Structure 1
Amino acid sequence: MKYSKIKALLESEKGGIAVATRGWVRTFRNKQFIALNDGSTIHNIQCVVDFENTPEATLKRITTSAALDIQGTLVESQGSGQKYEIQVTKLEILGDSDAEKYPIQLRNRPSLEFLRENAHLRVRTNTFSAVMRVRSVLAYAVHKYFNEKGFFYFNAPIITGSDAEGAGEMFRVSALPFDGTPRTEDGKVNFKEDFFGRETNLTVSGQLEAETYAMALGQVYT
């Protein structure tokens, strides 16, 4: 069976059809109602499990962030908040998530400071998920605008040996050790022994490269 994105299922024009989807558990209530998400939309789809005919051992494994393969029938939702839900006929757990160790429990509304300490998981919260979706749309809008105006996009170097005409404080990039840094005879850091063979920094401006590209391509942006 072809797998469908949750966004497509929620926007479906008809119910009563067999569907299959995959995602991870946001919440699991009353051993029956799974809120499933796959990243295609910020909204979850409710999957209703026949808990009376599902092994207890399987139900215990349906925890926050567990990855599931769901097959069932797309039907009109009995509750409010969404048009459709899935009546589950087959459920397979693709990946377990230890409920005692998984740090982000959505019902507890974790603080932003806590999420900074768990950056690899924070995009699974509504706050960061929404932020990244907005960023994606805005980035696309910028590229679309300049493309329609005849501009060429290029990637200015992130690491540079220039200070962009003194544009600001530079952040040094170095592979040299802090302890025992190699020195020249006059006591200065010997950058010839560094990765790039010279002093390098994070760039603060793509101006110099943009001027070079503009002289060859005309209208450019970065």
Structure 2
Amino acid sequence: MFQAAAKTLWVASTSSRGALTALRHYCKKTTSKLRVSEAVSGTEVGRKIKVQGWVRSVRPQKANLFLHVNDGSSLQSLQIVASSELSNPSLTFGSAIEVTGTLKKSPNQKQPVELEAEQIHVVGECNPVDFPFKIKERHSLEYLRQYPHLRCRTNAFSSLLRVRSEATTAIHSYFKENAFVQIHTPVITSNDCEGAGELFQVELTSTPQLSPQPSGPENNEDENFFSVPAFLTVSGQLHLEVMSGAFSKVYSFGPTFRAENSQSRRHLAEFYMVEAEVAFTQSLEDLTRVMEDMFRSATEHVLAHCAEDVDLFHKHVTPGHREIVDSMLKKKFPVITYSEAIDILNRCSEKFAFPTHWGCDLQTEHEKYLVKHCGNIPVFVTDYPYNLKPFYARDNQDHPEHTAAAVDLLVPGVGELCGGSLREERLDLLRARLEEVGLEETYSWYLDLRRFGSVPHGGFGLGFERYLQCILGVENIKDVIPFPRFSHSCLL
């Protein structure tokens, strides 16, 4: 094909105008495979193209057949106009097809272009009677949740996945632009960062053997594969702290696991965490600045690059939520201390299921009230009681109340989105805390970090699925992840 093109251009090379004309003529003759998003942009009008995708609607008429095809590249579908002679009984809603034809401007103002089909090939048939999603019906997110293997075929969930993908890109871009080094922290670990004991233990299993195996340490089923108990990670924080001894700014973005027996709308057994660690800092303001800047940067990026997908949610799934998102981006996030938060909760007239007093852990109902009290925008809560925080949180020794230099970011509709702290870099205080909780031997390596070139540092973690809930207004966390895992549910 390229040799023929070269020959055509060589013959026409007697003038540059002739070469250009020949090139245009050759390009019009060839068939380009385009994504639907490229086709509907209208830049290839007049070209012969091929598109592949799934039928979103079918409208047969006496002389013509009208189809809408989508391939997941865009919320918009491409209209196909074909002669009724190309109609096929297997050309139904949900079927996978390949269409070749000429892209033309559409007389319909609702769409810029349409594809005048010359050939339609049904790649995969779909029985619309058995297919759980019905044409022109807007299914709820709860209904779609029943079909994790099929819900990506719907407009709502395909929009969610595009937003999720773009938000991932935006977060990586933010860290790269701000000189953070990405670290791939392990999924299998021997430590419990949070200290809550909600871990999935990794066990070695083997297929049944046809003949007896010799006994010995190497075949002892009770032996740990790693020689020590191993678990799926609940956080990459401690590994990032290791790296902050060599890099001033590091981050990770990956899966984490919690063995919580919870059916709530804000918890999963497997979810994604964005975690960052900053060295040479003694101020919570350094951490809150990164949290707020990352939130704004990522959200502005998503709104700019996924406008149609976000609008679908804000108009049809969570109407009115766009005003909340715009308000979050316009105003600076306020900062209150934990003590101020308890005073606000104690003075309010609202009745809580969990009573509030200094020293209690804030529950979701408390967090949501504090967000509303502060104008329904994200709010930082700092300086929590020392005993509420893990062993690595820095002791605020200069505070009259025993508090830790810890901070949570609370957001509308969700509650806690980020949690972080300055880390205890003082060896004597850290050793005393580990002795107090009986972990000095387990975390002897962690003490080494303070013995050899330690610096003041701090970090935080952000729940990625909760971030998506926040900007889209989605109530249930199971609706913002492709394949949700939670107690008594591990489909696929």
For Structure 1 versus Structure 2, the TM-score category normalised by the shorter chain is 0.7 to 0.9
Pairing 1:94–2:111 present: no
**TM-score scaled to structure 1, two decimals?**
0.82
Cα shift readout 1:75-95 (whole Å, capped 9, x = no counterpart)? 121323210001111111111
* In structure 2, distance between residues paired with 1:195 and 1:109: 49
2:57 partner SS:
strand
Cα 1:66/1:197, change in 2 over 3 Å: farther
Report the equivalent of 1:185: none
Cα 1:103/1:71, change in 2 over 3 Å: same
Report the equivalent of 1:108: 137
* In structure 2, distance between residues paired with 1:215 and 1:193: 34
Pairing 1:170–2:198 present: yes
Report the equivalent of 1:22: 52
2:66–2:82 CA contact under 8 A, matched in 1 = yes
Residue type at the aligned position of 2:232: L
Cα 1:112/1:191, change in 2 over 3 Å: farther
Structure 1: gaps of 5 or more residues: 178-189
Residue type at the aligned position of 1:103: P
* In structure 2, distance between residues paired with 1:154 and 1:72: 47
Higher share in helix: 2
1:85 partner SS:
strand
Residue type at the aligned position of 2:189: T
Q: How many residues matched?
A: 205
Pairing 1:140–2:169 present: yes
Cα shift readout 1:40-90 (whole Å, capped 9, x = no counterpart)? 111100001201x23xxx521111221111111111213232100011111
1:106–1:125 CA contact under 8 A, matched in 2 = no
Question: How big is the shift at 1:195?
Answer: 5.3
Pairing 1:151–2:184 present: no
Question: How big is the shift at 1:14?
Answer: 5.6
Question: How big is the shift at 1:176?
Answer: 7.1
Pairing 1:124–2:157 present: no
Root-mean-square deviation (CA, aligned residues, Å) is: 2.3
Question: How big is the shift at 1:153?
Answer: 0.7
Report the equivalent of 1:61: 90
* In structure 2, distance between residues paired with 1:196 and 1:30: 63
Between structure 1 and structure 2, the one with the greater Rg is 2
2:194–2:235 CA contact under 8 A, matched in 1 = no
* In structure 1, distance between residues paired with 2:203 and 2:136: 43
* In structure 2, distance between residues paired with 1:194 and 1:62: 55
Cα 1:164/1:3, change in 2 over 3 Å: same
* In structure 2, distance between residues paired with 1:191 and 1:144: 46
Report the equivalent of 1:4: 34
Cα 1:113/1:75, change in 2 over 3 Å: same
Report the equivalent of 1:212: 242
1:67–1:94 CA contact under 8 A, matched in 2 = yes
* Same amino acid, percent of matched pairs: 34
1:217 partner SS:
coil
2:192–2:199 CA contact under 8 A, matched in 1 = no
1:73-84 counterparts in 2 under 5 A? 73-84=102-113
Higher relative contact order, structure no. (Cα contacts within 8 Å, ≥ 6 residues apart): 1
Report the equivalent of 1:183: none
* In structure 1, distance between residues paired with 2:148 and 2:38: 28
Report the equivalent of 1:187: none
Structure 2: gaps of 5 or more residues: 1-30, 206-219, 253-492
Report the equivalent of 2:66: 33
2:101–2:118 CA contact under 8 A, matched in 1 = yes
